[in-house]
Structure 1
Amino acid sequence: MLEKKIPLVSVVVPNYNYARYLRARIDSILNQTFTDFELILLDDLSTDESLSVFEQYKTNEHVSHIVVNEKNSGTPFKQWMKGISLARGKYVWIAEADDLAEPDFLLRCVNLAEQHKDFSFCYVGSLLIDSKGDITRGRDVNKWGRREKNRESYFDGKSFAIHNLYWRNYVLNASGVLFRREYALNLEDSGFMDMRYCGDWLFWFLMSMQGGVGEIYCNLNYFRQHTAKVTVSSAVSGGGIKEGLYVVHRMEQILDSLGSYKKHLRRGRFYRGIKRSSVSFERKQELFEELFKILGGTVSDYRLERMNQILRIFNPMLLTPKRDRL
């Protein structure tokens, strides 16, 4: 086990039935060029061979904890907080069990973090991989547009929330993020652990309210896509839309400079998302009712959002999420 020296970084691997990916994941952590870290392995009562994989690493000098739940937590975010509570490092990396990282992920993130006294979190670019580990080609999942690759940006946290997170969760995957443990500990009673789908969106928003946010425009994280992902369940059930309504409502309670036009556009985007979702007609009606109850959104907001999409072609100053993004 690791000596009592306090590491700069705590790496938390929350796992549930990902034995088939675990060795590759843990090896991608142990192969980091930055080595001042402890490794915390968490299992949410897996029914596969996960524990036997963990057992193979128990004598590694970086491993400080191997913790197995007596009962399944029911949500990944409770495992996040368990890892954060066990962590001793100044910074935490939630390295999801089915993802992978480039060897210089930690080095790039720590270097950025140590440059800013108010640092809350930073995140890197991600590439999607399939169940075999092959890169999925196609859309720009990072939504970087024409940003110069391999450089870095650092933003005031509140501005990042207003211009970026309000529209969507641009922090694609927790595995691509390094964050300050001290700030994360403040969020234990924030409600993010009660969510199943959008707890990360709420978490990053509340983290941004405490300090600065960095972006590293380099693909250093590999985000695995497969049918067991929570995001797949979210799309099928519509649960992500419902939780997203609560996250945006929470933002509007805290942020004081959003503007009414922007809020109407945001409601219109929710309306469009529900309208185009693959859930049943009955479920769509339930979600429309939730939209009205939580945010007051109506079909008029949807029409405004659609008109805005047309007029933006002729008016380069018209507000859109892409133009608003920092």
Structure 2
Amino acid sequence: MKVMHNSSTSDRYTKNIPIVSIIVPNYNYARFLDIRMESILNQTFQDFEIILLDDHSTDNSVEIIEKYRNNPKVSYIDINKENSGSPFRQWKKGIEYARGKYIWIAEADDSALPDFLEKTITALEATPSASVAFTGSETIDENGDPYGRDIDKWYKKSPQKTNGGWMAFNGKEYVVHNLYWHCYVYNASMTVFRKEYYSPDLLDDSIKMRNAGDWLFWIKITAKGDIIEVYEKLNLFRLHRKSATVAGIMSGNNVWEDIKVMKYVEDHFNVGKYRKAMRLGQYIKVLRRSKQYSPETRRKMMNAIRTSLGVGMGTFRMERINKMLSFIPFTLTQQKDRL
């Protein structure tokens, strides 16, 4: 491990504590690193430090990182001699180095608009009870071109109807009504969280996961306080074949981990029998319709759902009937339940 503390500005580390600590975890994303760093250094909000982490990349990432060694914003460079085996170990390490009041995990393959920090920090400072704030995202491809996919789906939550383009929600309620159904906080780069709500154990289970570990982490830290939705697409989320998001879907590993996350929510929050049936029935529907899994793999997945979550095809049929009756006001669907 090679760690560099930027001692050339040592007074800054004892007197001027930054408001935000920006952690840039990298593994083989040399081709995106300069773009990512430019998007950080060009933020309109400038009270931050940058912590650069490399997880034993095999491309020329270290060469790119070294270019920023003497940048006054860079407080730490940490280069692993061996791969850690988990991006969440890198998150954990970066947070240990962080001195800021807020943490932004800016993934190396993503980018951001210049006012990302300004908008998220303004909302967090106005809401002391908030543990997390997140924005929307524009999806981009390998070359930075628009992907044309809207993942946020805010529906009627327009900025004109909110407090300056953002809204705060009770964290525990948000987990039950939103995050149980879907990981709306789908990319770390879209998120800033308050460090005082963090503890190292929040990442212990995530380290054992490859795809849904971030979903579980956002559930845990959201439940510590309130959560803020900022209704602007200020994050640029890159979707490409080597991204963990795409790899998890293609391998099917995301399903096994999704089951663990849903089980965690059911064990720690009062989701209710009706909501549980509709949520899991919906999940089974998606699984049944997917063409990427073999019949044998799908059968194993269904057995895992039945064993871990205690539901089966009856729940799927209930959800289908509920969907047909969704025009009735008191029926529950993901869209209706979303805060």
* Both proteins in one fold, TM over 0.5: yes
Cα distance in 2, alignment partners of residues 321 and 78 from structure 1: 32
Matching residue of 2:273: 260
Partner of 2:116: 105
Structure 1 counterpart of 2:3: none
**Contact 1:187/1:206, CA 8 A, preserved across alignment:** no
Provide the rounded CA distance (Å) in 2 between the counterparts of 1:188 and 1:311: 39
SS at match of 1:304: helix
CA distance in 2, matches of 1:56, 1:140: 35
Greater Cα offset, 188-197 or 3-12: 188-197
Q: Do 1:124 and 1:177's aligned partners in 2 also have CA atoms closer than 8 Å?
A: yes
Report the counterpart of residue 84 of structure 2 in structure 1.
73
C-alpha contact 2:203 2:217 (8 A) present in aligned 1 = no
**Which residue number corresponds to residue 162 of structure 1?**
176
1:143 counterpart residue number: 153
| Correspondence list, 1:26-41, <5 A | 26-41=37-52
CA distance in 2, matches of 1:186, 1:211: 17
Which amino acid in the other structure matches residue 71 of structure 1?
Answer: E
Range moving further from structure 2, 55-64 or 140-149: 140-149
Distance in 1 (alpha carbons) for counterparts of 2:293 and 2:198: 34
Q: Which residue of 2 aligns with 1:289?
A: 303
Structure 1 counterpart of 2:143, from 117, 132, 137: 132
CA distance in 2, matches of 1:128, 1:172: 12
186, 197, 200: which one aligns with 1:183: 197
Farther off after superposition, 176-185 or 211-220: 176-185
Q: Letter of the aligned partner of 1:273 in structure 2? A: V
Kindly state the Cα deviation for residue 186 of structure 1 after the two structures are TM-superposed: 4.5
Report the AA paired with residue 77 of structure 2. I
Amino acid at match of 1:66: I
Q: Which amino acid aligns with 2:310?
A: G
Matched, 1:299 2:313: yes
Tell me the SS of whatever aligns to 2:184.
coil
Contact 2:186–2:215 (CA under 8 A) maintained in structure 1 = no
Q: Is the Cα contact below 8 Å between 1:193 and 1:199 reproduced in 2?
A: yes
- 1:122 corresponds in structure 2 to 133
Matches within 5 A, 1:36-55: 36-55=47-66
**TM-score, length-normalised on structure 1?**
0.96
Query: What's the RMSD between the two structures over aligned residues?
Result: 1.3
Name the counterpart of 1:194: 208
**C-alpha deviation, 1:236, in angstroms:** 1.6
The amino acid of 2:99's aligned partner reads R
Rounded to whole Å, the distance in 1 between the matches of 2:336 and 2:236 is 27
How many residues align? The count is: 323
In structure 2, the gaps of 5 or more residues are: 1-5
Alignment partner, residue 32 of structure 2:
21
Counterpart residue number, 1:94? 105
CA distance in structure 2 between the partners assigned to 1:74 and 1:297 by the alignment = 33
Structure 1 unaligned segments of length 5 or more: list them.
none
Residues in 2 aligned to 1:183 and 1:165: alpha-carbon distance in whole angstroms: 18
Identity %: 44
Which residue identity does 2:287 align to in structure 1? I
Would you say the 8 A contact 1:75–1:193 is kept in 2? yes
CA contact (8 A) 1:17 1:46 kept: yes
